Structure 1
Amino acid sequence: MNLKQLSRQEYTTRINRVMDYIRLHLDKSFDLATLAGVASFSPYHFHRIFTAMVGETPNNFVSRIKLEKAAQLLHNNPKASVSDVAFLCGFVNISSFSRAFKSHFNMTTTEFRNQDKPIYIKNGIRYSKDCKAVSKIGKNYQQINAQFYSVELNTLIIMDTKIEIRQMPQLNLIYCRHTGAFNKIGQAYEKLFKWAIPRGLVNPGTRTVTVYQDDPAVTSIDKVRQDASIIVDGNIKVDGEIGKLNIPSGKYAVGRFKIKETEFEEAWNTMCAWLTESGCQPADSPTYEYYHNDYSENPEHRFIADICIPIKPL
């Protein structure tokens, strides 16, 4: 590996470390010096490097992540007050939160809570529970051909599978982060395995996990972060683009699917349909896909995967 590649990996590691720090301390306020310290850069260089690599200034990134988390909480926790959501996401008072939310989402928190929540996705179009086509949360409603409004539920939810509530164990993971289109995450897995295999971390029993750090109903697809991961034992020393991630134990809605690469959308729709009638709501931990096989070795090229959504009572 040449110096340019090594340098890029090290910079990626430091920026990922900052993103993980923000995620774990979302209820706090951040200043440039603190985030620069996490990245081991001077504040001046950190601002320039973060902006160049992420495409947003550190301040804009923190603000967006906080507001998108607030949007998830407002929809997923209907009993939570707006002030509670604001403080959980690190806003010092309700007025500053309300101004920031309206500026970012072009609507008030009340208007937001009253609008239909996207539940299903088909061909890039989002639908509410009653199959009304809607746009991405917080964005202006897009013009959609009227024929889509009559779409039947079974064209969105087509999979018959057993979904159950389980107590899932803690997962100790190493990951390579991918940001953007879901079907490009294979590139991150290639990097992860290229790093892990020489270190003896891959064997026939190794399981892979894709962890979703953002909600695609809220976050633009080009900014959705997904962690291509493998389960490891113990405290593994990581470097380059490889990071460490811990998924806490807890109650999850778990659905087992045997699907082709093009069928994950339907599988997630199936899970979301179940969730709306389960008496549960999403909890705050990340969702993930747990893979039981190497799909390339499957005769039908199918993934055997569990989709796992953290839950808590309504």
Structure 2
Amino acid sequence: MTQAFQTYHARMRRVLAHIECHLDDQLDLEALSKVAAFSKFHFHRQFTAIFGLSVHRYIQLSRMKRASFRLAYRDDQSVTQIAMDAGYDAPDAFARAFRQRFGQSPSSFRKSPDWETWLTAFGPIMNARNKLMQQIFNTSDVTIREVSPIRVAIMEHRGPPATIGTTIQRFIRWRKTVGLVPRSSETFNIFRCDPRTTNPNDYRLDLCVGIERVFDAHFSQIM
């Protein structure tokens, strides 16, 4: 990879990180081109050429992705509030866009998400991010930290990555039931295998939460 190519990718990674952290801001082409240190027109052409979708489309998908997570995992926010945060002036407009993309209304998705359709809908944005992900790592890229032993409760996910969302919902419901909220109980994820090289049915992921006592309830009972 040439130095010029690395510089281009570093600038685009900076833009994606900026978008991720400023979804509530006005993310216009001029502001993002400054983050990339390119002219506005050159930035727009390069972004589309590298990622296969426009800047505007990428931002739309990013906001809709955040909205879908809030619908699935946060019951303290109304559909109206989530719609406004996603940049829609009215819940009806948000509902139409959401149904067109996922085949479900926001309320239906909140109750029973179709994660496989969700995964397909966000294919373009995931492909875009994967193009800039580092593929080869050196020992200098790894940070090893020693910490005191932490007792954790584990919910195991076994099966296609597309169904992880359902496992996360069960995990959140159990945490709420026993009072293990994120602000006071640490969260850990253990990735057992690489989804790119593992048969979907054999994929394994552990969701963990720090605990101070042993619980009698089994995760499998939390549906």
Q: TM-score, length-normalised on structure 1?
A: 0.44
What does residue 22 of structure 2 align with?
25
Write 1 or 2 for the structure with the bigger share of helix: 2
Taking the aligned partners of 1:117 and 1:106, their CA distance within structure 2 comes to: 9
- Secondary structure in structure 1 of the residue aligned to 2:13: helix
What does residue 169 of structure 1 align with?
none
Select 1:81's aligned residue among 70, 78, 82.
Answer: 78
Structure 1 residues 207 and 71, CA, compared in 2 at 3 Å: closer, same or farther? same
Select 2:130's aligned residue among 171, 174, 179.
Answer: 179
Q: Report how far residue 281 of structure 1 moved.
A: 7.6
Taking the aligned partners of 1:105 and 1:29, their CA distance within structure 2 comes to: 25
Structure 1 residues 92 and 39, CA, compared in 2 at 3 Å: closer, same or farther? farther
Structure 1 residues 81 and 54, CA, compared in 2 at 3 Å: closer, same or farther? same
What does residue 55 of structure 1 align with?
52
Matched, 1:46 2:40: no
Matched, 1:100 2:100: no
Q: Report how far residue 116 of structure 1 moved.
A: 4.4
What does residue 199 of structure 2 align with?
none
- Secondary structure in structure 1 of the residue aligned to 2:66: helix
What does residue 207 of structure 1 align with?
144
Instruction: Tell me, yes or no, if the aligned pair for 2:171 and 2:207 is still in contact at 8 Å.
Output: no
What does residue 299 of structure 1 align with?
none
Taking the aligned partners of 1:179 and 1:15, their CA distance within structure 2 comes to: 12
Query: Which amino acid is the alignment partner of residue 78 of structure 2?
Result: S
Aligned residues: 175
Uncovered stretches (5+) of structure 1, i.e. residues with no partner: 119-134, 141-176, 209-252, 292-304
Which deviates the most, 98-107 or 46-55?
A: 98-107
Taking the aligned partners of 2:207 and 2:37, their CA distance within structure 1 comes to: 36
Q: Report how far residue 264 of structure 1 moved.
A: 11
Write 1 or 2 for the structure with the bigger share of strand: 1
What does residue 175 of structure 2 align with?
278
Instruction: Tell me, yes or no, if the aligned pair for 1:29 and 1:90 is still in contact at 8 Å.
Output: no
Instruction: Tell me, yes or no, if the aligned pair for 2:72 and 2:111 is still in contact at 8 Å.
Output: no
What does residue 115 of structure 1 align with?
112
Instruction: Tell me, yes or no, if the aligned pair for 1:73 and 1:85 is still in contact at 8 Å.
Output: yes
Instruction: Tell me, yes or no, if the aligned pair for 2:73 and 2:172 is still in contact at 8 Å.
Output: no
- Secondary structure in structure 2 of the residue aligned to 1:137: helix
Deviations, residues 24-68 of structure 1 (Å, cap 9, x unaligned): 111123211111111111111111111111221101100011101
Identity %, equivalent residues: 26
Structure 1 residues 13 and 92, CA, compared in 2 at 3 Å: closer, same or farther? farther
Structure 1 residues 109 and 308, CA, compared in 2 at 3 Å: closer, same or farther? same
Instruction: Tell me, yes or no, if the aligned pair for 1:27 and 1:91 is still in contact at 8 Å.
Output: no
Taking the aligned partners of 2:90 and 2:44, their CA distance within structure 1 comes to: 26
- Secondary structure in structure 2 of the residue aligned to 1:136: helix
Query: Which amino acid is the alignment partner of residue 91 of structure 1?
Result: Y
Deviations, residues 237-275 of structure 1 (Å, cap 9, x unaligned): xxxxxxxxxxxxxxxx96679xxxx9997xx79x74543
Q: TM-score, length-normalised on structure 2?
A: 0.60
Structure 1 residues 78 and 139, CA, compared in 2 at 3 Å: closer, same or farther? farther
Select 1:10's aligned residue among 2, 7, 22.
Answer: 7
- Secondary structure in structure 1 of the residue aligned to 2:63: helix
Q: Report how far residue 138 of structure 1 moved.
A: 7.7
Matched, 1:188 2:151: no
Instruction: Tell me, yes or no, if the aligned pair for 1:82 and 1:109 is still in contact at 8 Å.
Output: yes
Taking the aligned partners of 1:87 and 1:104, their CA distance within structure 2 comes to: 18
Query: Which amino acid is the alignment partner of residue 174 of structure 2?
Result: E
Structure 1 residues 22 and 263, CA, compared in 2 at 3 Å: closer, same or farther? same
Structure 1 residues 281 and 256, CA, compared in 2 at 3 Å: closer, same or farther? closer
